[in-house]
């Protein structure tokens, strides 16, 4: 049966290099592809989400579980086994490293941003400034301060606000601009039809970033000089001009061209009531894009905003260029680029900007301005991060809708290990500006028979990850019923275990067949369900099982119980083998007593530290309890005071307690394993009057733990005595129906 493996192909933050199986964890600096689309607050929030709110840890833990599930299904010789194990080891490295960096990530980010790379910050001056705007080393900025009277100190800002209110914005005549550009490109040469076709294609791309094939009509038919002459009735006597050929080619090859081209950003403010502010931001934004391009390509290291703020004359001239270009219906960006070339010394340019430079900047300006104004995320238009993807090396990339860096770049060099050194080298060489959103190469399925699936699935959580058709096939198998039955008993699911026995013709087989299973405390047994219940002193479970036994089954299980009393029942836990007759309550009773005595003799701070350590020992002992003891701690219908008789005919199989740290109910099992707020790490379970809870304060637990010790001791006595009744029930023809009281 074909079973899809569960390792996710598109996990959040994770990229796997298909060439060498290196796992990369991408840290989102800010939302966006080549420019930040989040505002300042949200950019901070994305990092907080990654680290503080532990989203990355959650994603990695989920990924770890998926890999562990897949590895459980694979035998050691399978070709997927080794690469998946390698990825699992790497995921664990990241989990450990993120836990170590929870408090220091802000400093690591700030340090990284101080290093020149391919992520550039810009800071504009809108009329209404965001007081939270913070940038590190902006490549472009203008003065955001005011004088004592509240007047802006930026010469560029003042020049724009003086010029733009009076600016008239004429409609942009795109056809005229294109025709002028084509005619200028062709020069004074004689009419050359093929040359006109080439020039039209080149200038359409140059001016509008659109590709149009002027050698074909929309229906695919070839367009030649002869076909145009025939269509337009051009003859040697009635020769066409270059302009007429331009018009004819547009009408034939791109009849709807000027209806589909987007309006350039500067002309989108035609009827905007806040025209001056919009034009001011547009001018600053375009200058910033040119500034970034020049910095990235070593054309200039200057801050163009600061250069303009130093000279009122230069600022006034630039504002006048923008205004006059709009009034003439010309391309503003081209005119600004020409202005910069005319003042190379002022802006620190080591060479003039050529047409290729200008085209690149214009296209990026159009894309990025459209991106940041497409949503309401940037109401102030204060600051942005801009990614340069043209570089051959850089520490920042695009991944899953965010501008990211590799986690290895944040790991402090002196504390590096070999793993993160390898990851950093793999991230930087070769530089890949856009990291694939998915790891499609890790998608895989495995063909297994049902018997093998059942043997390799450890628990219900893993079972639920199987496809429904595989689950259905498993549940029809007697082998799966046996496995499920054993786990129900070991995990205290008494009603579910009984449901598998009622009206089941294979009930006696389920009762007498030993199998391999693990209880909640991590003890692994190979025995029958009744043997485990007898060993654990879970006499409530024993009575239920006894009711379903026939005489032959009881005789068989009596032999097995006698063997336990004679030589014990073997189990494996934490890699060690143990053999005991019954579960031993002594470690818990000793831990409770040790805590109580320590509290009574507490005299100083050092003693209190010992008390806290003793509390952890209580919690650790509770982690080893069979589930029926946990049920007694958590049952909602009575407390441990006065000390119960523990003689009820039915045990509520409740496993939840109230977590004072989280202020909510929490399941005791399956046991959580982590570094904080965990049983045996910083708290122990106590039984409170009228409820169930744990308490983290040692000084408030002494009285309660005295009560708990008395109850646990009584429970041990009662359940041990009831095992005698269990043996008698196995000897009788009819199953016992009481606790022998």
Q: Are strands 656-659 and 569-573 parallel, antiparallel or unpaired?
A: unpaired
Residues 6+ apart with CB under 8 A from 631: 492, 651, 652, 653, 654, 655
Tell me: cis bond preceding 166? Omega within 30 of 0 counts.
no
For position 693, what pLDDT does the model report?
Answer: 46
Tokens describing residue 562: 């006698």
For position 10, what pLDDT does the model report?
Answer: 93
DSSP symbols for 406-442: EGGGGS-GGG--HHHHHHHHHHHSS--SB--S--GGG
For position 276, what pLDDT does the model report?
Answer: 95
Q: Cβ atoms within 10 A of the Cβ of 350, count?
A: 10
Look up residue 469 and give its DSSP letter.
Answer: H
For position 110, what pLDDT does the model report?
Answer: 83
Average pLDDT over residues 664-684: 62
The dihedrals phi and psi of 10, each to the nearest 5 degrees, come to -130, 60
For position 686, what pLDDT does the model report?
Answer: 82
Look up residue 705 and give its DSSP letter.
Answer: H
Q: What is the pLDDT of residues 368-393, one digit of tens each?
A: 998 888 776 666 688 899 999 888 88
Residues 6+ apart with CB under 8 A from 473: 1, 450
Residues 6+ apart with CB under 8 A from 416: none
d(CA 329, CA 173): 6
Average pLDDT over residues 145-172: 92
For position 414, what pLDDT does the model report?
Answer: 46
For position 737, what pLDDT does the model report?
Answer: 44
Q: What is the pLDDT of residues 605-633, one digit of tens each?
A: 556 677 778 888 888 899 999 999 999 99
pLDDT at 736 over 50: no
Contact 319, 162 (CB under 8 A): yes
State how far the alpha carbon of 270 is from the alpha carbons of 126, 160, 655, in Å.
19, 17, 68
Contact 101, 51 (CB under 8 A): yes
For position 271, what pLDDT does the model report?
Answer: 75
Radius of gyration of the chain from its Cα atoms, rounded to whole angstroms: 38
d(CA 546, CA 554): 8
Considering only residues 603 and 433, tell me which one the structure prediction assigns the higher pLDDT: 433
In 3D, which of 592, 612, 451, 626 has the Cα closest to residue 522?
626
Which range (226-235, 263-272, 694-703) has the least confidence? 694-703
Considering only residues 322 and 480, tell me which one the structure prediction assigns the higher pLDDT: 322
In 3D, which of 716, 523, 486 has the Cα closest to residue 623?
523
Contact 394, 388 (CB under 8 A): yes
State how far the alpha carbon of 709 is from the alpha carbons of 190, 237, 588, 633, 685, in Å.
107, 117, 9, 12, 12
For position 38, what pLDDT does the model report?
Answer: 67
d(CA 327, CA 330): 8
Residues 6+ apart with CB under 8 A from 198: none
d(CA 154, CA 33): 31
d(CA 307, CA 694): 65
DSSP symbols for 111-152: HHHHS--SEEEEE---SS--TT---SSEEEE----B-TTS-B
Average pLDDT over residues 238-255: 88
- Cα torsion through 536, 540, 544, 547, rounded to 10: 100
What band does 395 get if pLDDT is binned at 50, 70 and 90?
very high
The dihedrals phi and psi of 188, each to the nearest 5 degrees, come to -95, 15
In 3D, which of 427, 18, 355 has the Cα closest to residue 185?
355
Q: What is the pLDDT of residues 84-110, one digit of tens each?
A: 999 999 999 999 999 888 777 888 888
Q: What is the pLDDT of residues 171-211, one digit of tens each?
A: 777 777 788 788 888 887 788 899 999 999 988 888 787 88
pLDDT at 473 over 70: yes
For position 690, what pLDDT does the model report?
Answer: 46
pLDDT at 671 over 60: yes
Q: Kindly provide the residue ranges of all beta strands, DSSP E only, lying in 639-734, ordered along the sequence.
A: 656-659, 664-667, 685-688, 691-694
Average pLDDT over residues 2-31: 93
Write down the domain spans for the chain.
Answer: 2-116+400-442, 154-168+264-387, 174-260, 480-583, 586-716
Look up residue 643 and give its DSSP letter.
Answer: P
Residues 6+ apart with CB under 8 A from 35: 368, 371, 372, 384, 385, 386, 387
Tokens describing residue 484: 């499920």
Residue 518, SS3?
strand
d(CA 659, CA 100): 25
Average pLDDT over residues 48-74: 91
d(CA 265, CA 280): 12
Q: What is the pLDDT of residues 487-515, one digit of tens each?
A: 999 999 999 999 999 998 999 999 999 99
Place of tokens 């004088």: 147
For position 300, what pLDDT does the model report?
Answer: 95
What band does 572 get if pLDDT is binned at 50, 70 and 90?
very high
pLDDT at 679 over 70: no
Contact 683, 694 (CB under 8 A): yes
Tokens describing residue 438: 């998915």
Order across the sheet with 524-527: list the strands. 515-518, 524-527, 569-573, 576-580
Residue 354: CA count within 13 A, CB half-sphere: 3
Q: Are strands 119-123 and 138-141 parallel, antiparallel or unpaired?
A: parallel
Contact 589, 709 (CB under 8 A): yes
d(CA 83, CA 60): 17
Mean pLDDT of the residues in the chain: 87
């Amino acid at each position: 049966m074909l079973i899809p493996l569960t390792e996710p192909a598109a996990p959040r933050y994770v990229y796997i290099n298909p060439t060498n199986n290196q796992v990369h964890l991408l840290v989102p600096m800010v939302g966006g592809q080549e420019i930040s689309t989040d505002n300042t607050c949200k950019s901070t929030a994305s990092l907080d989400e990654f680290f503080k709110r532990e989203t990355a840890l959650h994603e990695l833990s989920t990924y770890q579980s998926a890999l562990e599930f897949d590895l459980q299904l694979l035998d050691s010789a399978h070709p997927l086994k080794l690469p998946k194990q390698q990825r699992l080891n790497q995921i664990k490295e990241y989990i450990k490293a993120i836990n170590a960096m929870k408090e220091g990530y802000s400093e690591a980010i700030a340090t990284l941003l101080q290093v020149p790379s391919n992520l550039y910050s810009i800071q504009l001056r809108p009329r209404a400034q965001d007081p939270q705007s913070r940038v590190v080393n902006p490549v472009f900025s203008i003065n955001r301060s005011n004088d004592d009277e509240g007047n802006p100190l930026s010469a560029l800002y003042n020049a724009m606000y003086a010029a733009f209110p009076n600016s008239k914005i004429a409609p942009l005549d795109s056809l005229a601009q294109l025709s002028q550009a084509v005619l200028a490109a062709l020069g004074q040469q004689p009419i050359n039809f093929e040359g006109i076709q080439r020039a039209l294609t080149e200038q359409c791309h140059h001016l509008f970033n659109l590709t149009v094939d002027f050698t074909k009509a929309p229906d695919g038919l070839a367009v030649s000089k002869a076909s145009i002459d025939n269509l337009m009735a051009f003859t040697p006597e009635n020769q066409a001009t270059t302009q007429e050929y331009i018009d004819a080619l547009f009408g034939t090859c791109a009849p709807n061209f000027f209806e589909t081209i987007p309006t350039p950003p500067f002309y989108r403010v035609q009827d905007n009531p806040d025209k001056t502010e919009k034009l001011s931001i547009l001018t600053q934004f375009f200058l910033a894009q040119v500034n970034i391009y020049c910095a990235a390509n070593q054309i200039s290291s200057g801050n163009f905003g600061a250069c303009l703020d130093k000279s009122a004359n230069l600022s006034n001239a630039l504002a006048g260029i923008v205004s006059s270009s709009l009034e003439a219906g010309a391309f503003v960006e081209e005119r600004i680029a020409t202005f910069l070339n005319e003042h190379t010394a002022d802006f620190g340019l080591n060479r003039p900007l050529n047409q290729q430079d200008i085209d690149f900047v214009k296209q990026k300006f159009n894309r990025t301005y459209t991106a940041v104004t497409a949503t309401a995320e940037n109401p102030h238009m204060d600051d942005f991060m801009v990614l340069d993807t043209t570089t051959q090396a850089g520490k920042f990339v695009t991944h899953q809708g965010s501008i990211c860096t590799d986690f290895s770049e944040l790991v402090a060099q002196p504390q590096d290990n070999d793993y993160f050194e390898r990851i950093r080298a793999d991230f930087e060489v070769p530089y890949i500006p856009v990291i694939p959103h998915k790891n499609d190469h890790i998608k895989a399925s495995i063909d297994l028979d049902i018997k093998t699936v059942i043997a390799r699935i450890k628990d219900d959580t893993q079972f639920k990850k199987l496809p429904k058709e595989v689950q259905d096939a498993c549940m029809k198998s007697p082998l799966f019923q046996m496995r499920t039955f054993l786990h129900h008993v070991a995990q205290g699911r008494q009603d579910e275990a009984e449901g598998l026995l009622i009206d089941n013709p294979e009930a006696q087989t389920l009762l007498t067949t030993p199998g391999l299973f693990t209880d909640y405390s991590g003890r692994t047994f190979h025995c029958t369900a009744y043997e485990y219940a007898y060993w654990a002193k879970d006499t409530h479970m024993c009575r239920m099982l006894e009711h379903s036994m026939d005489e032959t089954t009881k005789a068989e299980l009596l032999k097995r119980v006698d063997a336990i009393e004679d030589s014990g029942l073997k189990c494996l836990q934490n890699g060690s083998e143990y053999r005991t007759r019954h579960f031993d309550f002594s470690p818990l009773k000793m831990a409770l007593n040790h805590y109580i005595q320590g509290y009574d003799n507490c005299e100083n701070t050092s003693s209190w530290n010992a008390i806290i350590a003793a509390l952890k020992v209580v919690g650790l002992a509770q982690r080893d309890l069979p589930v029926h003891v946990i049920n007694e701690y958590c049952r909602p219908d009575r407390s441990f005071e006065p000390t119960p008789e523990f003689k009820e005919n039915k045990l509520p199989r409740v496993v939840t307690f109230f977590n004072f740290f989280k202020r909510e109910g929490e399941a005791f099992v399956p046991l959580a394993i982590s570094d904080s707020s965990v049983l045996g790490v910083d708290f122990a379970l106590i039984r409170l009057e009228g409820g169930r809870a744990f308490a983290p304060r040692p000084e408030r637990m002494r009285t309660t733990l005295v009560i708990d010790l008395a109850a646990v001791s009584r429970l041990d006595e009662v359940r041990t005595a009831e095992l005698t009744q269990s043996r008698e029930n196995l000897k009788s023809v009819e199953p016992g129906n009481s606790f022998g009281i």
